[in-house]
Amino acid sequence: MQRNVSVKRLPFLLVIIVIVAAAAILGYYTTVGSTTKLNTSEITDYQGQKLSSISDEPEVSIKGTQYINQSTYRLVVTGLVDKNLTLTYDEVISRYTAYEKVVTLNCVEGWSVTMLWQGFLIKDLLADAGVKSNATIVIFYGYDNYSDSLPIDYINSNNIMIAYKMNNVTISPENGWPFQVVAEGKWGYKWVKWITKIEVSNNTDFKGYWEQNGYSINGDSNQSYIASP
């Protein structure tokens, strides 16, 4: 027998639907002022793969943890591009398609962590800027003046991303907020943190901090990190 829905109950049902929808939205986003805060619930596995805890990654840097003001932060893209870009944190988050991938970070100090990294593809950012035909590398600069580079071919062919979340949690200042390079297959010194500037270049002789101190420019984690004589 068909049941009729009471007209008087419809407003109540609509209220329930609105409450449920609002709760679902707030489960992913909490807005403070004009800044959107990402989900902060850490996950421990991804599609059956066990993940390292965020706390398993030591804070490793030359000048210590960097604390950046989100309201004044800008990501600059410059160099051999058709147009320079200057983007706020929120513009980066909202403009580029989000991707996620489990990647292991191997440090020359002997430790490693395997995490779910979530962010955007570097090639999408470069496509916005337009890369000149003679460009060969991308140089990443951190807020602490640390720098390192990666070949454009490697970035594009491996879908290398810049992360803003790890294990579903917004990256903390200790781990490189706002953005960190996820240099898959490279030693940890290639994973530049606290990124403020990205320069597209053809200077294949460029050496970052550790390469100036005898580390390999290539930085492949399946090879020695010490530069060949």
Name residue 138's amino acid: V
Neighbours of 101 (CB within 10 A): 16
Answer whether 90's CB lies under 8 Å from 170's CB.
Answer: no
Upper half-sphere CA count for residue 100 (Cβ side, 13 Å): 11
Q: How confident is the model at residue 228 (pLDDT cuts 50, 70, 90)?
A: confident
Which residue from 151, 141, 155 is spatially nearest to 193, judged by alpha carbons?
141
Q: Which segments of the chain does DSSP mark as H helices, in order?
A: 10-26, 89-95, 122-129, 152-157
Residue 4 pLDDT exceeds 80: no
Upper half-sphere CA count for residue 93 (Cβ side, 13 Å): 17
Q: What percent of the chain has pLDDT over 70?
A: 83
Upper half-sphere CA count for residue 179 (Cβ side, 13 Å): 26
Q: What is the pLDDT of residues 101-146, one digit of tens each?
A: 999 999 999 999 999 999 999 999 999 999 999 999 999 999 999 9
Q: Looking at domain 41-213, which CATH architecture does it have? A: Alpha-Beta Complex (3.90)
pLDDT of residue 51: 98
Cα Rg, the chain, nearest whole Å:
21
Using a cut of 0.85, tell me whether the model's pTM lies above it: no
pLDDT of residue 229: 75
Q: What is the pLDDT of residues 44-81, one digit of tens each?
A: 999 999 999 999 999 888 899 999 999 999 999 999 99
Q: How far apart are CA 37 and CA 39, in angstroms?
A: 7
Q: What is the pLDDT of residues 21-36, one digit of tens each?
A: 444 333 333 322 333 4
Annotated domain spans of the chain: 41-213
